[in-house]
Structure 1
Amino acid sequence: MTRRAPVVDGDNIDIRGARICLNGIDAPESWKKCQRQDSSEYRCGKAAAFALNAFLAISRPTRRERIDFDRDSRIVANCFRADGQRVNAWLVRTGNAVDWVRYSHDAFAGTQASAQAEKMGIWRGNFTTPGTARAKRVHRKPTC
């Protein structure tokens, strides 16, 4: 399916009212703050969402290839811009999301290693992985 895709957050978009979770990646939540190298804080979750929106705006519409449904009945998909760029991989490559190995089976391991080595996005400073941050916020054990 190909449509214009409004951004919900750093790893979720909407296509015609259907929530699409980007397969195999995990971006910081909108409320999440990360630390830069100089120890100043910034909203890395909002930064990821803004970056995703700008990336999608370059070449619309967005195409999705459904992989599955998550526990909340949202579509889990690999997404592509109109020019063929892989959205999921781009988010990891730019340091706006991490490889969620539990679901990606290491599909983005090399991409993440490059982002980390080049200190892209969240790799420029200190951060808590998105799954750990979510679990801590609701006082549960991380599942990732």
Structure 2
Amino acid sequence: MVVLAGLMSVCPAFAEEPIVGRASVVDGDTMEIAGERIRLHGVDAPESWQLCEDGDGFRYRCGREAAMMLDRFLAASRPTRCEFVERDRYQRFVGTCFRADGVEVNRWLVEGGLAVDWARYSDGAYADAQGEARAQALGMWRGPFQLPCEARVQRSNQLPSC
């Protein structure tokens, strides 16, 4: 038994298998496939209640917009495949996901300004995509907004965790 446990910790063959199926969007960075809740690795989208400003000073629900855009994006090329990265503290499957046509969902969200590169978890994997979205004033980058992790902290009155 000890040998098996040791092999499981070093052998990728024992890693969780990818999840493939029709994705239902929970929010801008979370989906569900076949009853499994999946958190997109390395990106952070605004919460559904979160407000952002557009370039004209109007406020809009940017989290809701991110979720709706993600739903449309996934519907255009099914099924969705998510590759396992880890389990988070809520025991959600955390992964990098791809549409049937091979487009990476995590990167697409950041490229469109619908989520930010969460460098704490991504090690800056999407920094280039975020820089482009910011330079082109896409999505949240059209106007002022609060980082999603900061908005959650402020709403819950907890210590910062970004």
Q: What's the TM-score once normalised by structure 1's chain length?
A: 0.99
Cα distance in 2 between the residues matched to 1:35 and 1:118 = 16
Q: Which residue of 2 aligns with 1:84?
A: 102
Q: Which residue of 2 aligns with 1:61?
A: 79
Structure 2 gap ranges (5+):
1-18
1:122 maps to amino acid = M
Pick the structure with greater CA Rg. Answer: 2
2:68 maps to amino acid = F
SS of the equivalent of 2:133 reads: helix
Question: Is the aligned partner of 1:40 residue 2:40?
Answer: no
1:131 maps to amino acid = C
State the aligned residue count. Answer: 144
Please tell me the root mean square deviation across aligned C-alpha atoms, in Å.
0.5
Structure 1 gap ranges (5+):
none
Q: Which residue of 2 aligns with 1:31?
A: 49
Q: Which residue of 2 aligns with 1:4?
A: 22
Q: Which residue of 1 aligns with 2:116?
A: 98
Q: Which residue of 2 aligns with 1:134?
A: 152
Question: Is the aligned partner of 1:74 residue 2:92?
Answer: yes
SS of the equivalent of 1:53 reads: helix
Q: Which residue of 1 aligns with 2:40?
A: 22
Q: Which residue of 1 aligns with 2:142?
A: 124
Deviations 1:73-123 (A, max 9, x none): 000000000000000000000000000000000000001000000000000
Deviations 1:34-57 (A, max 9, x none): 111211100000000000000000
Cα distance in 1 between the residues matched to 2:150 and 2:156 = 10
1:32 maps to amino acid = Q
Structure 1 residue ranges, 4+ long, deviating more than 4 angstroms after superposition = none
What percentage of aligned pairs have identical amino acids? Answer: 53
Deviations 1:12-63 (A, max 9, x none): 0001011000000000000001111211100000000000000000000000
